[in-house]
């Protein structure tokens, strides 16, 4: 099961490698089946694209290219040319196929079509006004990136229900422990 705390699919896709700074980050795209599941759970596609090992390698390469571009933006550094070229190559791909039916619409496509959609949205974020809203979660163990659209742009965590609650609970416990030591 995948998490989508950002509300922005390319950044949620970057989050499929959790806790990047840990000695053993948690890979959520460890198999082609997990990549198919990500596309389904994200709502990008209504049926699994049938990913294989090559598709998985390509998807992970794109994910890491997006992350390197986001990290450069966060650090105020120039974006790496190789990552820009990778992102642009994918963004030029065919779009996901939308079809209207009497009972609704469907989204279908290949892995490359799904990756093209992610790449195009990442280009819009990184090359537009939203780039200034990029943030990384304030919980040290988390490396999820997100767009801070909060009023005042003071959001600290990728998601309040997970990282925010963990940080606040740890702070509370530390305060309680400290006051117990004072007695």
pLDDT of 2 reads 86
Q: How far apart are CA 119 and CA 126, in angstroms?
A: 10
Residue percentage of the chain with pLDDT more than 90: 66
Residue percentage of the chain with pLDDT more than 70: 86
- Which range, of 99-103, 165-169, 172-176, averages the lowest pLDDT? 165-169
Residue 146 three-state SS: strand
> For residue 152, is pLDDT > 80?
no
> For residue 169, is pLDDT > 70?
no
Contacts of 134 (CB under 8 A, 6+ apart): 70, 73, 74, 125, 145, 146, 147, 148
pTM for this predicted structure: 0.85
pLDDT band at residue 23 using 50, 70 and 90 as cut-offs: confident
Q: What mean pLDDT is reported for the chain?
A: 89
For 17-47, b/e burial (b = at least 16 CB within 10 A) is beebeeeeeeebbeebebbbbbbeebebbee
Which tens digits make up the pLDDT trace of 39-57? 999 999 999 999 999 999 9
Looking up tokens 């990384």 gives 136
For domain 9-182, the CATH superfamily is: Jann2411-like domain (1.10.3300.10)
pLDDT of 179 reads 66
Higher pLDDT, 175 or 32: 32
pLDDT of 19 reads 86
Beta carbons of 16 and 41 less than 8 angstroms apart: no
pLDDT of 172 reads 57
What are the structural domain ranges in the chain?
9-182
Q: How far apart are CA 102 and CA 23, in angstroms?
A: 51
């Amino acid at each position: 099961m995948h998490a989508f705390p950002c509300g922005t699919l390319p950044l949620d896709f970057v989050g499929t490698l959790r806790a990047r700074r840990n000695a053993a980050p948690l890979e959520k795209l460890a198999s082609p089946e997990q990549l198919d599941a990500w596309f389904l759970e994200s709502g990008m596609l209504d049926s699994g694209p049938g990913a294989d090992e090559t598709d998985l390698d390509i998807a992970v390469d794109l994910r890491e290219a997006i992350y390197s571009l986001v990290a450069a933006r966060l650090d105020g550094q120039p974006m790496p040319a190789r990552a820009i070229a990778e992102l642009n190559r994918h963004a030029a791909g065919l779009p996901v196929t939308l079809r209207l039916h009497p009972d609704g619409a469907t989204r279908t496509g290949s892995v490359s079509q799904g990756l093209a959609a992610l790449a195009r949205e990442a280009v819009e974020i990184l090359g537009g006004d939203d780039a200034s809203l990029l943030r990384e979660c304030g919980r040290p163990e988390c490396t999820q990136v997100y767009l801070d659209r909060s009023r005042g742009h003071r959001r600290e965590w990728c998601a309040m229900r997970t990282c925010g609650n963990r940080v606040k609970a740890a702070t509370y416990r530390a305060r309680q422990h400290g006051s117990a030591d004072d007695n």
